[in-house]
């Protein structure tokens, strides 16, 4: 049996995991695809670097074109990261008729439509399961498992770093900055954690999921993004008292062909399955018209979980190769993108207000909500000892985003409202 030859761009944590799985599972892989799979060449930055895995030095190269233009390589796996040069390499590989598996969420979120078009033009496969939620096979599920259904909502915890931070804040009553420092020491957060904690990483992943789920070319700028750096111990304490957990959720919704996509700290009812997803784990909740509610849970990152998704994509490419059906999956994005306006985006909201502690204040505040036709589910007012302020906690019924923004703007000019401490979307 003629082996299928693979080129690997990158030998970091995930690349090492790919080598371990491909070389350690040869019998299983060959039984699935009908031939051996061989890693022919591996791109590294330094061939002489000491590694924690034994690799024939003849397989290593510091020149990416040794792999991309190699006449015998059928499939290229990209785990080097980056955008500019990486995009160039992938487009050239597709132009040469090579199939590509990538874990690069940044690249696919920013340039997915162009790369998918190039793949289709050259009858090549482009697979990117590992770009979202690590070891959870969510992309394949959306493409294949929901192919006969119509997805209305995708809601998920897709960033392990922020979920670790919020879990520790909830379980231990720790502050955001203390837990962030711990996450950096454990290697869960980068020295510059901006991409994670400000929601940018999650936004890229939701761009990919919304594009697939709604069959429309969603761009990163279509995602409304808010991170967790302003979440306080006080916010989480009130959430728990009211029966909620605070999670950074990516939320993509469709109604009558109008879509909205956001990433934001959200109060999730404790009875909802997403509320119990803790630590660095990820979970994606999908609601389909026919199937109803489903949820997918697992490791969102790490050497072997991510590598498992990559090798599963590799198996799919090789099966297509054997059947002669590469590049025939059809267009994922055939619908016109129609975004909801703020007055069409609706949800419940939690607000924590610091107000003057005197008679008539609550009536004045509730009147503001009434003025903009926002009905209230619950209102809790409590004085703060030895402080001239009181706290008012409000949970609204479903209200549109534009109305809430008008309420908040009115509070800014209202003398009895000292400040709006927190505003969160409420789910579940």
Strand partners, 149: none
98 noted as active-site residue: no
Q: What's phi and psi for 147, nearest 5 deg? A: -65, -25
Taking the C-alpha atoms of residue 181 and residue 239, their distance in angstroms, rounded to an integer, is 23
Question: Which residues have CB under 8 Å from 363's CB, separation 6+?
Answer: none
Name the catalytic one among 87, 105, 205, 247.
Answer: 205
Taking the C-alpha atoms of residue 196 and residue 161, their distance in angstroms, rounded to an integer, is 7
Work out the end-to-end distance of the chain between its first and last CA atoms, rounded to an integer number of angstroms: 53
Question: DSSP readout, 350-403?
Answer: EEEEEEE-STTHHHHHHHHHHHTT--EEEEEEEE-TTSSEEEEEEEESSEEHHH
Pick the residue with more confidence: 389 or 385?
A: 389
Q: How would you classify the pairing of strands 75-78 and 4-9?
A: parallel
Share of the chain above pLDDT 70, in %: 99
Q: Which CATH number fits domain 342-427: 3.30.2000.20, 3.30.70.260, 3.40.50.300, 3.90.76.10?
A: 3.30.70.260
Residue 150 has pLDDT above 90, yes or no: yes
Residue range 12-19: average pLDDT? 94
Residue with tokens 């502690």: 357
pLDDT tens per residue, range 173-214: 999 999 999 999 988 888 999 999 999 999 999 999 999 999
Taking the C-alpha atoms of residue 311 and residue 301, their distance in angstroms, rounded to an integer, is 15
Which of the four pLDDT bands, split at 50, 70 and 90, describes residue 107? very high
* pLDDT reported for residue 330: 64
* Cβ–Cβ < 8 Å for 6, 73: yes
pLDDT tens per residue, range 41-73: 999 999 989 888 989 999 999 999 999 999 999
Residues recorded for the chain: 428
Residue range 110-130: average pLDDT? 94
Taking the C-alpha atoms of residue 69 and residue 262, their distance in angstroms, rounded to an integer, is 40
- Report angle CA 100, 101, 106 to the nearest 5 degrees: 105
* pLDDT reported for residue 386: 67
Domain boundaries, the chain: 4-132+303-323, 138-299, 342-427
Q: Write down the CATH superfamily of domain 4-132+303-323.
A: NAD(P)-binding Rossmann-like Domain (3.40.50.720)
Taking the C-alpha atoms of residue 123 and residue 327, their distance in angstroms, rounded to an integer, is 4
> Residue 68 is encoded by which pair of tokens?
């991309």
Strand partners, 353: 392, 420
Question: Which residues have CB under 8 Å from 187's CB, separation 6+?
Answer: none
* pLDDT reported for residue 242: 93
Question: Which residues have CB under 8 Å from 219's CB, separation 6+?
Answer: 207
Number of C-beta neighbours around residue 28 at 10 A: 11
**Cβ-count burial of 43 within 10 angstroms (0-12 exposed, 13-18 middle, 19+ buried)?**
buried
Taking the C-alpha atoms of residue 7 and residue 139, their distance in angstroms, rounded to an integer, is 23
Residue 5 has pLDDT above 90, yes or no: yes
pLDDT tens per residue, range 235-249: 999 999 999 999 999
* pLDDT reported for residue 302: 83
Question: DSSP readout, 345-365?
Answer: -EEEEEEEEEEE-STTHHHHH
Question: Which residues have CB under 8 Å from 51's CB, separation 6+?
Answer: 11, 16
Residue range 298-309: average pLDDT? 90
Single pTM value for the model: 0.93
Residue 385 has pLDDT above 80, yes or no: no
Mean pLDDT score across all residues of the chain: 94
Residue 162 has pLDDT above 90, yes or no: yes
Q: State which fold the 138-299 domain adopts.
A: Dihydrodipicolinate Reductase; domain 2 (3.30.360)
* pLDDT reported for residue 428: 86
Residue 170 has pLDDT above 90, yes or no: yes
Q: Where are the beta strands (DSSP E) in 53-98?
A: 60-61, 75-78
Taking the C-alpha atoms of residue 200 and residue 204, their distance in angstroms, rounded to an integer, is 6
Taking the C-alpha atoms of residue 399 and residue 404, their distance in angstroms, rounded to an integer, is 7
Residue range 270-277: average pLDDT? 96
Residue range 338-352: average pLDDT? 97
* pLDDT reported for residue 203: 98
> Residue 213 is encoded by which pair of tokens?
């789920």
């Amino acid at each position: 049996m003629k082996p299928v030859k693979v080129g690997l761009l990158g030998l970091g944590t995930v690349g090492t995991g790919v080598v371990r799985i491909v070389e350690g599972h040869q019998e299983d892989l060959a039984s699935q695809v009908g031939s051996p799979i061989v890693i022919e060449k591996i791109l590294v930055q330094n061939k002489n670097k000491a590694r924690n895995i034994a690799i024939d030095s003849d397989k290593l190269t510091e020149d990416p074109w040794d792999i991309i233009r190699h006449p015998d390589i059928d499939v290229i796996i990209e785990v080097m990261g980056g955008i500019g040069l990486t995009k160039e390499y992938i487009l050239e590989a597709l132009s040469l008729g090579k199939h590509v598996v990538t874990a690069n969420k940044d690249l696919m979120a920013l340039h997915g439509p162009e790369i998918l078009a190039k793949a289709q033009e050259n009858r090549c496969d482009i697979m990117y399961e590992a770009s979202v939620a690590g070891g959870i096979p969510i992309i394949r599920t959306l493409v294949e498992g929901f192919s006969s259904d119509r997805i209305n909502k995708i809601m998920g915890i897709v960033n392990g770093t922020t979920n670790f931070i919020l879990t520790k804040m909830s379980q231990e009553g720790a502050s955001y900055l203390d837990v962030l420092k711990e996450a950096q020491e454990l290697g869960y957060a980068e020295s510059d954690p901006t991409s994670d904690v400000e929601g940018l990483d999650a936004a890229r992943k939701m761009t990919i999921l919304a594009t697939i789920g709604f069959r429309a070319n969603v761009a990163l700028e279509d995602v409304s993004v808010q991170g967790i750096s302003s979440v306080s111990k006080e916010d989480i304490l009130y959430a728990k008292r009211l029966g909620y957990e605070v999670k950074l959720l990516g939320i993509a919704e469709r109604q009558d062909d109008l879509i909205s996509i956001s990433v934001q700290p959200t109060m999730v009812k404790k009875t909802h399955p997403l509320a119990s997803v803790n630590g660095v784990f990820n979970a994606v909740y999908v609601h389909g018209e026919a199937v109803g509610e489903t949820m997918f849970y697992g490791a969102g990152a790490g050497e072997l979980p991510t590598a498992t998704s990559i090798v599963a994509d590799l198996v799919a490419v090789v099966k297509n190769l054997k059947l002669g059906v590469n590049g025939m999956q059809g267009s994922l994005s055939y619908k016109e993108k129609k975004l909801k306006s703020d007055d069409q985006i609706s949800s419940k909201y939690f607000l924590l207000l610091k107000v003057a502690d005197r008679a008539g204040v609550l009536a004045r505040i509730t009147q503001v909500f009434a003025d903009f036709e926002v009905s209230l589910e619950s209102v809790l007012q409590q004085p703060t000892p030895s402080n001239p302020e009181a706290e008012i906690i409000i949970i609204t019924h479903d209200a549109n985003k534009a109305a809430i923004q008008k309420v908040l703007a009115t509070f800014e000019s209202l003398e009895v409202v000292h400040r709006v401490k927190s505003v969160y979307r409420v789910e579940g």
